[in-house]
Amino acid sequence: IHGRLSAPFMSYFDDLHDIAPQQIWPGLIGRALHGDEATLVAIELDPEIDVPEHSHVNEQIGILTGGSITFRIGDEEKELAPGATGIIPAHAPHSVRSGPQGATLIELFAPRRDDWGRHQRLEPSTPKGF
């Protein structure tokens, strides 16, 4: 077994409430599960937060589970409500603005987000909207 289960042995299971959130951007926290090949993240956005345009080597696939966002991928912009999905190709510029109630998303990144080790870890807490 590799990745998050390397020595000392860790369980295959976890609970979202026990995963220490990380401050990814101001007003955006993520609770990440890292496998060998991918990272799955529960994202919480505060109301009316702007995540500036950026890109990364990871393909990003997500689903909006609560609230609303305006998402821009390349030249396409769309208002999204719960149940909406999106695919961001690797290296594609993208940005997001959360709606007045904030937003919650589940995002998958491949390859895994090894660069997230630099983000501040916060104390475990009850996730919003999950």
The per-residue pLDDT for range 53-95, each reduced to its tens digit, is 999 999 999 999 999 999 999 999 999 999 999 999 999 999 9
Mean pLDDT, range 112-125, rounded to an integer? 77
Question: Can you give the pLDDT at residue 4?
Answer: 53
pTM value? 0.85
Q: For residue 1, what pLDDT is reported?
A: 37
Q: How far is CA 66 from CA 3, 9, 49, 51, 100, in A?
A: 30, 34, 15, 17, 12
Q: In the predicted model, is pLDDT for residue 120 greater than 70?
A: no
123 pLDDT exceeds 70?
A: yes
